[in-house]
Chains A and B, each alone.
Chain A
């Protein structure tokens, strides 16, 4: 009796060991290049870590950030950026995907190519082009608005318009992948469901809300989570176009991390900022999974 119980256990242990051995190479890289830097970042956030000191100061970096007005402004800007960019990216992607998924192969590929182009183009090239579009003196946008009798606007130089100008660029660089995913997902929805609904005289709105949207939920969940994380981590556009200005109106938490670590050499405060950002992203992702991922099985 005892032998019969032990045998499968030994087998299981063997399987268990083998599977983890296969996992080991990838896991080693993951531990060294992802887990270790992450934990090291948390560890560093409790230190006064500059180019000459490394001294334990407990929660002081977090207390400094709690009282730092620029950090508060960066946090608010980041949240505004995410709150505006993510719904527009989702809505626009679904709109474009719905418009093109039934079209001919050529039109579909053409549209996918157009919208995916900013995603594969170097962010530096993209910002150079947008820099010229928004240029206060010789920009394309001011040239166009001039036809409507508008005064030239310093799009990136006015606190009222700068963050929205950055958001527009972020949206254009973010819609490519969701469109491709949505087009693929829409193609996988069985036509019979929609035909059956049409026979039952369901309106297009009802078909979208009751059939298409629920069936797109696995894709939507992925797109929402990834777009949210990417928007939270928006950095290159800001660094290259506005350097966080004017008057900190486009400064984000990620830009603050860069500024503190690499420009001022305050690695401890930068790590604390990174930890706070990671916690916020983690909480929002959990909420998204909880409310959007109930029926989703990948």
Chain B
């Protein structure tokens, strides 16, 4: 009995030591695997190259089938480039970012990614991407607005090939205002549709009085999703920036920023904002609008309008509006920007093949415009206009002049945004004053910016 117990303990001890050994050595093993994998295609076939493209649902699904449109692009690309094989993997907006983080950490990143600057520029700063400067000659660079270029570059290096864009703004249920006979309260007769906070308040109060079953406006602070909406709303309501010009410090805790958040808190008290904002996320807020239960939505764009169209449960006309500002001056709208990037997986052939795919998606005479229309967005190039018909697209084109530089490419932004929604929750739930909540956010965010800058 004693002997078998001893043997068992010995066995467990050996198993433990072997596992520890495996754990300690696995890093080297991972490296070795990576080296091997990059060598195999080169030796097996010197001409052909296989690349992987991970894509979020940036293109509207064809026949309701996710990835079908992308397969069409790949088939056309491979026909023109028979030596390149493209493997597609579709990501979801919910789980995709996590999958990418894990893939990068385990050396299994894809070759091509179609995403937004927030993540792409972060990877660029960490030297994970291949620069695309050779794809962007002077005439292309000068055809893209500086704000969009700033979002695509780190220093002098271009890491994202900007493709589709459009300003984020708000939307109103125009049909509702027609029904309550208060259409005059909306700035739709002005060409640039700019308006003041006071005018906005009047419109909200008109909904509250004349359509008591409808919630005048919405706000959300449950999670990071859709934070460009809450950022754009508050900065414009108060007339403030989110970060300062050089992204070295938070600016939203200025007097103007505090004023913006105070307005939201006061409007919540006055019943002008959907209750329970602290537990609503961007999707819940959009649903309320699309179900015709809410008059104004604070996170909308031409792209989202076309994406949301199938989800509308009520038949009403949704019209884009810029955020109101204290004095009716031009608003500052953060742009949506989609673009493509190439991961530097230490294989020049794959990098070159990936660049060819990007060039095909964006610039192919036949597929370029078709792809852009499939995203529902405007072109990142200033010279490409008028590809859509309809007043809302016309307005979206016009509103491009209001585009500002968003904070999404700031150092440490991925962490900064995790402090934003708890600060909003504190203010909405009135556990802290807007000033206290924003000061605390600024303190944490500034520390993160400093830490991220010193880590570079």
Show the binding face of A for B, using Cβ within 8 Å.
12, 16, 20, 27, 31, 35-36, 39-40, 43, 49-52, 54, 135-138, 152, 154-159, 162, 242-243, 245-248, 259, 261-265, 267
Contact B222 A245 (CB under 8 A): yes
**A157–B422 CA distance with the chains assembled, in angstroms:** 12
Residue of A at shortest CB range from B123? Answer: A51
Residue of B at shortest CB range from A138? Answer: B293
Contact B20 A51 (CB under 8 A): no
**A138–B294 CA distance with the chains assembled, in angstroms:** 13
Contact B105 A247 (CB under 8 A): no
Name the B residues within 8 Å of A247 (CB-CB): 278, 422, 425-426, 429, 431
**Consensus secondary structure, chain B interface:** helix
B279 to chain A, nearest CB (A): 3
A254 to chain B, nearest CB (A): 15
* B245 close to A (CB within 8 Å): no
Contact A248 B422 (CB under 8 A): yes
State the interface size on chain B (CB cutoff 8 A). 47
Name the A residues within 8 Å of B22 (CB-CB): 36
* B142 close to A (CB within 8 Å): no
Contact A162 B275 (CB under 8 A): no
Residue of A at shortest CB range from B421? Answer: A245
* B304 close to A (CB within 8 Å): no
* B101 close to A (CB within 8 Å): yes
Name the B residues within 8 Å of A54 (CB-CB): 27
Contact B105 A137 (CB under 8 A): no
B92 to chain A, nearest CB (A): 13
Residue of A at shortest CB range from B104? Answer: A51
**A247–B277 CA distance with the chains assembled, in angstroms:** 13
Contact B15 A50 (CB under 8 A): no
Name the A residues within 8 Å of B27 (CB-CB): 54
Interface string of B13-34 (1 = CB under 8 A from A): 0011011101110110000000
Contact B429 A158 (CB under 8 A): yes
Contact B7 A16 (CB under 8 A): yes
**A27–B8 CA distance with the chains assembled, in angstroms:** 13
A246 to chain B, nearest CB (A): 4
Name the A residues within 8 Å of B414 (CB-CB): 263-265
Given pairs A35-B15, A154-B279, 12 additional interface contacts (CB within 8 A): A39-B16, A49-B105, A51-B104, A52-B128, A154-B276, A157-B276, A243-B281, A246-B221, A262-B102, A264-B418, A265-B105, A267-B105
Name the A residues within 8 Å of B44 (CB-CB): none
